[in-house]
């Protein structure tokens, strides 16, 4: 007697392999059309999503490669557009000068006669950046030490928020404040004191009555890079394990000694990285510096003299540059700025990564 | 011997107290300029802020009145174009870093380059876009050959890409593996799982990352000086120069007219208010946690 075997019906009708690939699909949105589009048929006929997955992955990889594309694009366009100056002046653009026939002084930047040399801007950038570091590093590290080790817990949140707010203020607002508040303050109260006390060093000459100059630029830059130095120092200090602090305290150290030996010594690579990151920001800062640095394309020893930085000369002169050579010279300065900031920022990233091991930012 | 010991411990105690005082001093010196900038901004800006500011365009030099309506509209146009370029590509890059490239050398290189690119001065981006679009004379590039809102939007957009990419990656890394595995276990294709499940889970964080990038480029002036160039009149045409709020503030600040200085302060106040709003919103959303928004 044949055994009647009942074949169980398929209970997984939703899986694609149990459905015949047919044009009569239920999911027709427009009753007037005769079924899904050929594209959908093609994708569904595969039975799996390998094609769509591959296309998606390819699309996402393309988006990630756009980062490299941006760097390449900037480098390519800057090199192409500065060809005119490069062929005219060569490497001497960065260190040569010529003597002005009228007053026999060294002359660097003469748009009228078509002579261009980037020396005063390199000088101005270096002076304003290092002045800003001189002011910002002690203050930033001090703030970080206070926030991490000494601050009462209730104050920590608001103060950290305020520091984050300092970093978010756009540079034009800093420039506005610096031009209308900081510069008159320097002009009326600070510069005369500096000239009378420290004029003998040669770094403070009283012959610039405007209050603009390298000092104003350095001070506003310091205010702008403070949050970067402070927040990075805080991050690396928090990353130091508590066992280090406890060990130093167990040996009988005071709180400052605990900070110095247990925390700062371990975090010093990261702190240096934070300082270099601040330097990178200071080198490229444009709008605030342009408004207070005085816009004179000359080299002076005095910190109170007017000057120009690489970014500020581009911002001031580019819209009004008439000759192609002038524009090309400004673009070559931009190229130099691009290369310098890339190198400085890459160095800073390596140092910071070495300490925090690339972990995402921890809760503050 | 007891004497030198107590002398030494007294010196160490003094050192400790001295450093504490210095640290507190440093904190006060840092907070002071912040309070000064905000306070002065509020004082100067609030007195010149009125309805005219938002609905009128600037008057010619020397005349009083007028506002910055063209700058606000212009900023809106530029930021819309910048977001259109920056957000999709940035999120795509972040998805690659978190989902497909995790741990690979390529992903490390992309992450490193994005961080370095974040530190490149914005004026360099503006120069590159000037060279690519504004001074180009080819028909391949749209809107080329003159200052245009399009070039300004492109400059701001490529500034947004690295920022959005990094924040998207960080937010996607926070999504637990269980969520992804559950989606794949249900038979979803990988692309569907990433888009509809993982990205949707991390979406509050991703949106706040985009807001941060948005707030950052909203305040950028330097790349717009020679791409969007500025316009004294209301304009929404991508093919023509357009004004932007920070650009207008810059032009008014260096002008010799008091009326324009007042408008510059009011503009700075509006800009700061928008940015503070964005930063506070970001802090509020991220403090609630990435995953709470998902359930």
Task: Compute the mean pLDDT over every residue in chain A, rounded to the nearest whole number.
Answer: 86
Q: Quote the ipTM score.
A: 0.89
**pLDDT value of position B115:** 92
Find the closest chain A residue to B192 by CA distance. A53
Average pLDDT over residues B287-293: 54
- Residue B204 to chain A, least CA–CA distance (Å): 17
The answer to whether residue B178 is domain-embedded is yes
Q: Is the pLDDT of residue A25 over 70?
A: no
Q: Same structural domain for residues B40 and B128? A: no
Q: How confident is the model at residue A30 (pLDDT cuts 50, 70, 90)?
A: low
**pLDDT value of position B53:** 81
**pLDDT value of position B295:** 37
Q: Please, what is the angle between helix A324-356 and helix A119-145, to 10°?
A: 30
What CATH number is given to the structural domain containing A89? 1.10.3720.10
Find the closest chain B residue to A334 by CA distance. B124
B-facing residues of A in 46-85 (CB < 8 A) are 48-49, 52-53, 55-57, 59-68, 70-71, 73-74, 77-78, 80-81
The answer to whether residue B292 is domain-embedded is no
Q: Is A273 on the interface with B (CB under 8 A)?
A: no
Which pair of tokens denotes residue B184?
């794949």
Q: Same structural domain for residues A64 and A88? A: no
- Using the 3D structure, point to which of A51, A74, A97 is the last residue of a domain: A74
At B164-184, the pLDDT tens digits run 999 999 999 999 999 999 988
Q: Is A43 on the interface with B (CB under 8 A)?
A: no
**pLDDT value of position A18:** 62
Asked if A71 and B225 come within 8 Å (Cβ–Cβ), the reply is no
Asked if A143 and B249 come within 8 Å (Cβ–Cβ), the reply is no
Residue A85 three-state SS: helix
Q: Same structural domain for residues A185 and A60? A: no
What CATH number is given to the structural domain containing B208? 1.10.3720.10
Q: Same structural domain for residues B216 and B256? A: yes
The answer to whether residue B249 is domain-embedded is yes
Residue A99 dihedral angles phi and psi, to the nearest 5°: -90, 130
Q: Same structural domain for residues B134 and B224? A: yes
Domain count, chain B: 2
Helix (H) or strand (E) holding A109: strand A109-110
Residue A253 to residues A145, A246, A260, B11, B20: CA-CA distances in angstroms?
Answer: 17, 10, 10, 12, 15
Q: Where are the alpha helices (DSSP H) in B174-257?
A: 177-185, 190-192, 199-201, 203-218, 222-225, 245-253
**pLDDT value of position B292:** 47
- Residue B135 to chain A, least CA–CA distance (Å): 9
Q: Is A223 on the interface with B (CB under 8 A)?
A: yes
Cα four-point dihedral sign A86, A89, A92, A98:
negative
Task: Compute the mean pLDDT over every residue in chain B, rounded to the nearest whole number.
Answer: 88
Q: Is the pLDDT of residue A158 over 90?
A: no
Asked if B23 and A159 come within 8 Å (Cβ–Cβ), the reply is no
At A206-248, the pLDDT tens digits run 888 898 999 999 999 999 999 989 988 998 898 889 999 999 9
**pLDDT value of position B1:** 54
Of the residues A170, A222, A353, the best mutation for testing chain B's interface (the one with the most B CB atoms within 10 Å of its CB) is: A170
B-facing residues of A in 293-322 (CB < 8 A) are 311, 314-315, 318-319
A-facing residues of B in 84-113 (CB < 8 A) are 88-93, 95-97, 99-101, 106-107, 109-113
Which pair of tokens denotes residue A142?
């001090």
Domain count, chain A: 2
Q: Is the pLDDT of residue A77 over 90?
A: yes
Q: Same structural domain for residues A125 and A42? A: no
> Closest to B117 (Cβ–Cβ): which among A67, A141, A170?
A67
The answer to whether residue A254 is domain-embedded is yes
Q: Same structural domain for residues B271 and B176? A: yes
Average pLDDT over residues A312-335: 92
Q: How many CB pairs under 8 A join A and B?
A: 267
Q: How confident is the model at residue A272 (pLDDT cuts 50, 70, 90)?
A: very high
Q: Same structural domain for residues B115 and B182? A: yes
The answer to whether residue A18 is domain-embedded is no
Q: Same structural domain for residues B44 and B110? A: no
Q: Same structural domain for residues B39 and B82? A: no
**pLDDT value of position A11:** 66
The answer to whether residue A16 is domain-embedded is no
Average pLDDT over residues B272-282: 84
Q: How confident is the model at residue A49 (pLDDT cuts 50, 70, 90)?
A: confident
**pLDDT value of position B90:** 95
Query: Residue written as tokens 């005369």?
Result: A192
Residue B235 to residues A2, B73, B221, B232, B270: CA-CA distances in angstroms?
Answer: 87, 8, 18, 9, 20
**pLDDT value of position B293:** 44
Q: How far apart are CA A338 and CA A332, in angstroms?
A: 10
Asked if B12 and A257 come within 8 Å (Cβ–Cβ), the reply is yes
The answer to whether residue A28 is domain-embedded is no
Q: Is the pLDDT of residue B64 over 80?
A: no
Q: Are A198 and A259 in contact (CB under 8 A)?
A: no
Range of the domain at B37: 2-48
Q: Same structural domain for residues B87 and B124? A: yes
Find the closest chain B residue to A54 by CA distance. B191
Q: Where are the alpha helices (DSSP H) in B49-148?
A: 51-55, 69-95, 105-118, 122-129
Range of the domain at A44: 38-74
Residues in B touching A168 (Cβ below 8 Å): 215-216, 275-276, 279
- Using the 3D structure, point to which of A49, A74, A99 is the last residue of a domain: A74
Q: How confident is the model at residue A318 (pLDDT cuts 50, 70, 90)?
A: very high
**pLDDT value of position B47:** 83
**pLDDT value of position A28:** 46
Q: Is B283 on the interface with A (CB under 8 A)?
A: yes
Asked if B96 and A60 come within 8 Å (Cβ–Cβ), the reply is yes
**pLDDT value of position B233:** 87
**pLDDT value of position A364:** 31
Q: Is the pLDDT of residue A45 over 80?
A: no
Q: How far apart are CA B295 and CA B289, in angstroms?
A: 11
Average pLDDT over residues A172-190: 93
B-facing residues of A in 97-136 (CB < 8 A) are none
Residues in A touching B101 (Cβ below 8 Å): 61, 64
Q: Please, what is the angle between helix A265-284 and helix A310-317, to 10°?
A: 20
Q: How far apart are CA B66 and CA B255, in angstroms?
A: 15
Q: Same structural domain for residues B190 and B262? A: yes
- Using the 3D structure, point to which of A74, A91, A126 is the last residue of a domain: A74
Q: Is B187 on the interface with A (CB under 8 A)?
A: yes
Q: Is A360 on the interface with B (CB under 8 A)?
A: yes
Q: Is B221 on the interface with A (CB under 8 A)?
A: yes
Q: Among A326-330, B6-10, B50-54, B283-287, whose mean pLDDT is lowest?
A: B283-287
**pLDDT value of position A126:** 95
**pLDDT value of position A363:** 33
Q: Is the pLDDT of residue A298 over 90?
A: no
Closest CA to A273 of A218, A353, A339, A341: A353
Q: Same structural domain for residues B25 and B98? A: no
Pairing of strands A106-107, A109-110: unpaired
Asked if B100 and A61 come within 8 Å (Cβ–Cβ), the reply is yes
Q: Same structural domain for residues B76 and B137? A: yes
CA-based Rg of chain A, rounded to a whole angstrom?
31
Which pair of tokens denotes residue A294?
């005085």
Q: Is the pLDDT of residue A156 over 50?
A: yes
Q: Among A23-37, A291-305, B87-101, B125-139, whose mean pLDDT is lowest?
A: A23-37
Find the closest chain A residue to B227 by CA distance. A319
If one compares B16 and A40, the residue with the highest pLDDT of the two is: B16
Quick check: pTM over 0.80? yes
Q: How confident is the model at residue B60 (pLDDT cuts 50, 70, 90)?
A: confident
Q: How far apart are CA B30 and CA A236, in angstroms?
A: 20
Average pLDDT over residues B200-224: 90
Q: How far apart are CA B64 and CA B292, in angstroms?
A: 51
Q: Is the pLDDT of residue A352 over 60?
A: yes
């Amino acid at each position: 007697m044949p055994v009647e075997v009942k074949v169980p019906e398929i209970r997984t009708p939703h899986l694609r392999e149990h459905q015949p690939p047919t044009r009569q699909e239920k999911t027709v949105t427009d009753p007037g059309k005769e079924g899904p589009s050929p594209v959908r048929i093609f994708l569904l006929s595969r039975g799996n999503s390998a094609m769509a997955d591959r296309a998606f992955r390819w699309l996402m990889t393309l988006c990630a490669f756009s980062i490299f594309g941006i760097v390449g694009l900037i480098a390519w366009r800057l090199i192409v557009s500065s060809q005119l100056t490069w062929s005219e002046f060569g490497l001497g653009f960065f260190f040569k000068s010529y003597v002005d026939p009228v007053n026999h002084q060294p002359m660097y930047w003469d748009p009228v006669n078509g002579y261009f040399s980037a020396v005063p801007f390199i000088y101005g950038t270096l002076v304003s950046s290092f002045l800003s570091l001189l002011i910002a590093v002690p203050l930033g590290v001090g703030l970080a030490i206070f926030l991490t080790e000494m601050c009462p817990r209730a104050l920590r949140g608001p103060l950290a928020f305020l520091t984050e707010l300092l970093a978010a203020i756009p540079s034009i607002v800093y420039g506005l404040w610096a031009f209308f508040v900081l510069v008159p303050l320097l002009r009326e109260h600070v510069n005369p004191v500096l000239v009378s006390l420290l004029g003998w060093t040669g770094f403070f000459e009283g012959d610039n009555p405007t209050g603009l100059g390298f000092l104003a630029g350095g001070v506003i830059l310091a205010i702008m890079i403070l949050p970067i130095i402070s927040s990075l120092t805080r991050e690396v200090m928090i990353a130091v394990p508590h066992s280090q602090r406890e060990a130093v305290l167990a040996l009988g150290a005071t709180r400052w000694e605990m900070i110095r030996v247990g925390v700062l010594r371990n975090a010093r690579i990261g702190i240096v990285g934070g300082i270099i990151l601040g330097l990178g920001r200071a080198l490229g800062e444009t709008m605030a510096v342009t408004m207070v640095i005085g816009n004179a394309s000359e080299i002076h020893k005095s910190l109170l003299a007017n000057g120009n930085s690489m970014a500020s000369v581009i911002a001031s002169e580019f819209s009004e540059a008439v000759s192609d050579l002038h524009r090309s010279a400004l673009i070559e300065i931009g190229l130099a700025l691009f290369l310098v900031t890339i190198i400085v920022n890459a160095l800073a990233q390596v140092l910071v990564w070495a300490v925090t091991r690339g972990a995402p930012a921890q809760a503050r | 011997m007891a004497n030198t010991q107590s002398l030494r411990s007294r010196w160490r105690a003094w050192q400790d107290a001295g450093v504490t005082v210095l640290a507190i001093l440093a904190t006060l010196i840092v907070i002071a300029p912040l309070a000064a900038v905000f306070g002065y901004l509020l004082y100067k800006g609030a007195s010149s802020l009125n309805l005219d500011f938002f609905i009128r365009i600037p008057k010619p030099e020397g005349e009083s009145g007028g506002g910055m309506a063209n700058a606000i509209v212009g900023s809106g146009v530029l930021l819309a174009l910048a977001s259109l370029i920056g957000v999709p590509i940035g999120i795509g890059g972040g998805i690659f870093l978190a989902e497909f490239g995790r741990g690979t050398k390529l992903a490390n290189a992309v992450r490193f380059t994005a961080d370095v690119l974040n530190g490149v001065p914005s004026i360099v981006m503006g120069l590159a876009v000037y060279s690519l679009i504004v001074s180009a004379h080819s028909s391949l590039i749209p809107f080329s050959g003159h200052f245009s809102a399009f070039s300004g939007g492109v400059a701001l957009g490529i500034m947004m890409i690295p920022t959005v990419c990094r924040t998207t990656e960080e937010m996607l890394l926070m999504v637990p593996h269980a969520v992804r595995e559950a989606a794949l276990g249900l038979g979803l294709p990988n692309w569907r799982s990433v888009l509809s499940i993982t990205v949707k889970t991390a979406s509050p964080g991703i949106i706040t990352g985009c807001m941060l990038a948005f707030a950052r480029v909203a305040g950028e002036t330097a790349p717009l000086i020679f791409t969007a160039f500025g316009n004294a009149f209301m304009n929404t045409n991508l093919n023509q120069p357009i004004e932007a709020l920070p650009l207008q503030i810059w032009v008014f600040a260096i002008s010799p007219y008091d009326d324009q200085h007042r408008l510059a302060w009011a503009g700075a106040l509006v800009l700061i208010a928008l940015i503070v709003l964005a930063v506070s919103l970001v802090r509020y959303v991220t403090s609630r946690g990435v995953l709470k928004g998902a359930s």
